[in-house]
Structure 1
Amino acid sequence: MSKATIVNRQSLLLRPDPSRVLVRPFKPATEPRDLNPTDKTRANHIVDRVLALDLQVAEALLADVLEHFEGRHRNLLATFEERADEMEDAFSTHAEFSKTQRQLVGAYFLNEYSFEASALFNPSIVAHPDQSGLATGSQRFVLSLRAVGEGHVSSLTFRTGVIDADGSVEIEPTARLAVTPKIHTPLPLLGEEPVRLSFGSGQHISERVIFPVTFAQSNGIEDARFVAFEDEGETTFYATYTAYNGKAIRSELLQTGDFLSFTMTPLTGTASHNKGMALFPRKFDGRYAMIGRQDNENLYLLYSDDLHVWNGGEPILRPRYPWEFVQMGNCGVPIELDEGWLLLTHGVGPVRRYAIGAALLDKNDPSRVIARSREPLVRPEPSEREGYVPNVVYTCGGMRHGNLIVLPYAVCDTFSSFSTIPIAELLLTLDG
């Protein structure tokens, strides 16, 4: 059966929007380390200049800043105050200053950042924790996406939407504003300690942006693979993602129950220094299970008694067919079916063309591969070949909806789209 006949590509496209901006701390270049203790830094010089302004001039300048920026951010004056609090050392040489001057100083040490100016891609989808008020046969979902802005820094952003009974996908309108969470972990955020974050309950989920907060994440939070994990009747949402500091990577785990409060914890163990780990949605005989790639080529099955420690692993899928000769990787968490675990995979073929396929794993023993794609399910269409990285389709996770697999996927590391695939027909395409 031709794969092209069973994949229903939807017309829905999610493209990056450079008008969505955050305010981020501006940090002046540091001075040489051999400065005398009495010498002033560049930050001191900026504060000196602001506090030397006539008060009426400072008030007019602050009013001008608010006129141009207040409508683009929530609680901007409060943000200026918070940033000024972080600049206390620069204020220490000044005996007096007004609230206006303090707020203005805060403004000088911030800059706008368009967090999805370059790309909005590598989506992952899970059922929304609130399924109330829907038509029969519909399902609400949370979609996570990797957003890339200036300097190729990746952050995590969200959308919500509804899948109708017939499989049609609708994305709810995106909030105009964007916010970063409050950080509840003392700085500096180095080492292996968990990081706790929270958003305000009045902030729509599409406003919430998780921007890198630790050194290990400083160049990006990449490719989150979300799973609704069931354990003793409780559902917890986890996401494995790659933390990147510009030189090194490591896998980390995001945990939430409501998409308001989050905990980010580094994973440890020999398997944690690789990309593309994906957690099964339930335990096996009391142990956690993960799919990962440890050698840039093959897919491994890992078990652990500790959710945050992963060692070893058993290779279960190796490149077999031409479309995956360069390497294989997982495309999200395994999806439980009556027939077994459906594992979406990606393969890389000639001229670095990426494609998406699948494998079926035994439900009780996922190390046993029942069947797999001889040909990919989704490969770049002619209209999907051009972008930041040509000839790539990629996903960080699909979701079951009745008799369909709903598959959000990225195109050329630039934008995202959706397709649906009937489960029965998909299974018929898999070979033993």
Structure 2
Amino acid sequence: MSQTAFLNRQALFLRPDSTRVVVRPFRPATEPRDFKPTDKTRANHIVDRVLGLDVEIAQQQLSEVLENFEGRHRNLMTTFEKRAREMEDAFAPHIAFTTLQRQLIGAYFMHEYSFEASALFNPSIVSHPDQSGVASGSTRFILSLRAVGEGHVSSLTFRTGIVAQNGTVDIEPTARLASMPVFVPPSSASPDEPLDLTFSPEQPISERVIFPITAAQSNGIEDARFVEFEEAGRKTYYATYTAYDGRGIRSELLETRDFLSFRMTPLAGTASGNKGMALFPRKIGDQFAMIGRQDNENLYLIRSDDLHVWNGGEIILGPKYPWEFVQMGNCGSPIELDEGWLLLTHGVGPVRKYTIGAALLDKADPSRVLARSREPLVRPEPSEREGYVPNVVYTCGAMRHNDQIVLPYAICDTFSNFATIRISDLLNTLTG
């Protein structure tokens, strides 16, 4: 079956939007080498200048700030005051700030960041926890995407939509504003301490942005692979993602039940220092299971009694066909079918061309590969070859919907699109 007949590509493109901005802390550049502890910092110089303003001029400056920025962000004055409080320890002893001074000082230590100015890619999809009001046979979903802005810093953003009974996908309008969560600082200085994040229910899901918080994440939260995990009749959404600090990476786990409150936890164990881990949607036997890549070439099955500790693993898939000779990786969590576990994979071939394939794993023993793609399921079409990274199609997770697979995928690390595939057609392409 040709790729054109196999895939139902939808005319639905999610492109980066530079108008979407968050406010985040501005930190003055480091002090000169001859800086002495008794010297005033740049932060203190800024504070001194603000404190030196007449009340009328200070009020005029704050009014101008509000005129320019208030309609672009929620609770801007509260944000400014919070930022001034956060900076308190960095300021030299000073007179007590008035409310006006505190708000204006906070404004000087914030800046706007266009978090998806460069790219909106590597999506994953799960069913929405709220299916109320959805037509019979349709499914409301949540789509996560990797957004990239200035300096190639990655964050996590969301969209919601409906996939109709016939597989037609529709994305709901994106919120005008974008907001970051309130987070509770860790109780200790340990870099392995979990971090709790909370959004307000008044913020629609497409407004919520999870931006790097910890030092380990400072250059990016990359490629979240969401899965709807069920245990004892209770559903929890987990996402494995890569934390990147500009030099090294580690795998971390995001956990939520409602997409309002999240917990971020670093993963431990020998298998956690690699990219691309994807959790099975339920335990296999009495153990958690992951698909991961530990040697830059092969896919491993990893089992664990502890959701946060992953060691060892066994190779189950390696490069076999020309389109995957360079390396293989997973494209999200396995999807449970009657026939077995459907695992979407990516392969890298000549001229570093990325394509998407699949494998079918035994349901009781996923280390047994029942069948796999001889040819890619999705490859860059001529119209999909140009972008930030040419010749790449990639996904971080698909979803079963009735008799189809709904596949969001990224094009050239720049923007995202959707396709649907009939499960029977997909399985017929796999060979032993």
The TM-score with structure 2 as length reference comes to 0.98
Who is 1:374 aligned against?
374
Matched position secondary structure for 2:103 = helix
Who is 1:115 aligned against?
115
Q: CA deviation at 1:191?
A: 1.4
Who is 1:285 aligned against?
285
* Equivalent residues in 2 for 1:48-87, closer than 5 Å: 48-87=48-87
Who is 1:359 aligned against?
359
Who is 2:324 aligned against?
324
Find out whether 1:89 has 2:89 as its counterpart: yes
Q: CA deviation at 1:189?
A: 6.1
Counterparts in 2 of 1:304 and 1:69: CA distance versus 1, 3 Å: same
Contact 2:40–2:92 under 8 Å retained in 1? no
Who is 1:260 aligned against?
260
Measure, in 1, the Cα distance between the counterparts of 2:199 and 2:49: 35
Who is 1:213 aligned against?
213
List structure 1 runs of 4+ shifted beyond 6 angstroms: none
Measure, in 2, the Cα distance between the counterparts of 1:204 and 1:169: 20
Measured on the aligned residues, the alpha-carbon RMSD in Å equals: 1.2
Measure, in 1, the Cα distance between the counterparts of 2:264 and 2:36: 39
Who is 1:106 aligned against?
106
Matched position secondary structure for 1:191 = coil
Measure, in 1, the Cα distance between the counterparts of 2:9 and 2:247: 37
Q: Which residue identity lines up with residue 149 of structure 1 in the other structure?
A: G
Matched position secondary structure for 2:259 = coil
Measure, in 2, the Cα distance between the counterparts of 1:311 and 1:238: 19
Counterparts in 2 of 1:129 and 1:332: CA distance versus 1, 3 Å: same
Alignment deviations for residues 86-139 of structure 1 (CA, whole Å, 9 cap, x no partner): 121355532243211111110000000000000000000000001110111100
Alignment deviations for residues 350-406 of structure 1 (CA, whole Å, 9 cap, x no partner): 111110010000111110001000000100001100000000000000000000000
Who is 1:347 aligned against?
347
Counterparts in 2 of 1:189 and 1:70: CA distance versus 1, 3 Å: farther
Alignment deviations for residues 302-357 of structure 1 (CA, whole Å, 9 cap, x no partner): 10000011111100001000110111000000000000000000001111111001
Q: Which residue identity lines up with residue 132 of structure 1 in the other structure?
A: S
Measure, in 2, the Cα distance between the counterparts of 1:425 and 1:37: 69
Q: CA deviation at 1:3?
A: 3.3
Counterparts in 2 of 1:418 and 1:199: CA distance versus 1, 3 Å: same
* Equivalent residues in 2 for 1:288-299, closer than 5 Å: 288-299=288-299
Contact 2:43–2:91 under 8 Å retained in 1? no
Alignment deviations for residues 33-63 of structure 1 (CA, whole Å, 9 cap, x no partner): 7644432111000100111011100100100
Who is 1:412 aligned against?
412
Who is 1:306 aligned against?
306
Contact 1:189–1:213 under 8 Å retained in 2? no
Q: Which residue identity lines up with residue 65 of structure 1 in the other structure?
A: V
Who is 1:146 aligned against?
146
Alignment deviations for residues 5-44 of structure 1 (CA, whole Å, 9 cap, x no partner): 1100000000000000000100011224764443211100
Contact 1:4–1:377 under 8 Å retained in 2? no
Who is 1:175 aligned against?
175
Who is 2:391 aligned against?
391
Matched position secondary structure for 1:239 = strand
Measure, in 2, the Cα distance between the counterparts of 1:28 and 1:195: 26
Contact 1:139–1:401 under 8 Å retained in 2? yes
Alignment deviations for residues 175-205 of structure 1 (CA, whole Å, 9 cap, x no partner): 0100000111248865111111110111100
Find out whether 1:39 has 2:27 as its counterpart: no
Counterparts in 2 of 1:71 and 1:292: CA distance versus 1, 3 Å: same
Q: Which residue identity lines up with residue 48 of structure 1 in the other structure?
A: D
Counterparts in 2 of 1:111 and 1:187: CA distance versus 1, 3 Å: farther
Q: Percent identity over the alignment?
A: 74
Measure, in 2, the Cα distance between the counterparts of 1:385 and 1:28: 40
Matched position secondary structure for 2:11 = strand
Alignment deviations for residues 158-188 of structure 1 (CA, whole Å, 9 cap, x no partner): 0000000110000001001000001112488
Contact 2:244–2:250 under 8 Å retained in 1? yes
Contact 1:344–1:359 under 8 Å retained in 2? yes
Measure, in 2, the Cα distance between the counterparts of 1:214 and 1:404: 39
Q: Which residue identity lines up with residue 89 of structure 1 in the other structure?
A: D
Measure, in 1, the Cα distance between the counterparts of 2:97 and 2:267: 46
Counterparts in 2 of 1:190 and 1:410: CA distance versus 1, 3 Å: farther
Who is 2:422 aligned against?
422
Aligned residue-pair number: 432
Contact 2:186–2:194 under 8 Å retained in 1? no
Measure, in 2, the Cα distance between the counterparts of 1:361 and 1:37: 61
Contact 2:44–2:92 under 8 Å retained in 1? no
Gaps of 5+ in 2: none
The TM-score with structure 1 as length reference comes to 0.98
Q: CA deviation at 1:146?
A: 0.2
Measure, in 1, the Cα distance between the counterparts of 2:302 and 2:214: 27
Q: Which residue identity lines up with residue 297 of structure 2 in the other structure?
A: E
Who is 1:156 aligned against?
156
* Equivalent residues in 2 for 1:237-252, closer than 5 Å: 237-252=237-252
Alignment deviations for residues 231-264 of structure 1 (CA, whole Å, 9 cap, x no partner): 0000000000000000000000000000000000
Contact 1:190–1:214 under 8 Å retained in 2? no
181-190 vs 400-409, greater mean Cα deviation = 181-190
Who is 1:133 aligned against?
133
Measure, in 2, the Cα distance between the counterparts of 1:195 and 1:289: 23
Matched position secondary structure for 2:105 = helix
267-276 vs 32-41, greater mean Cα deviation = 32-41
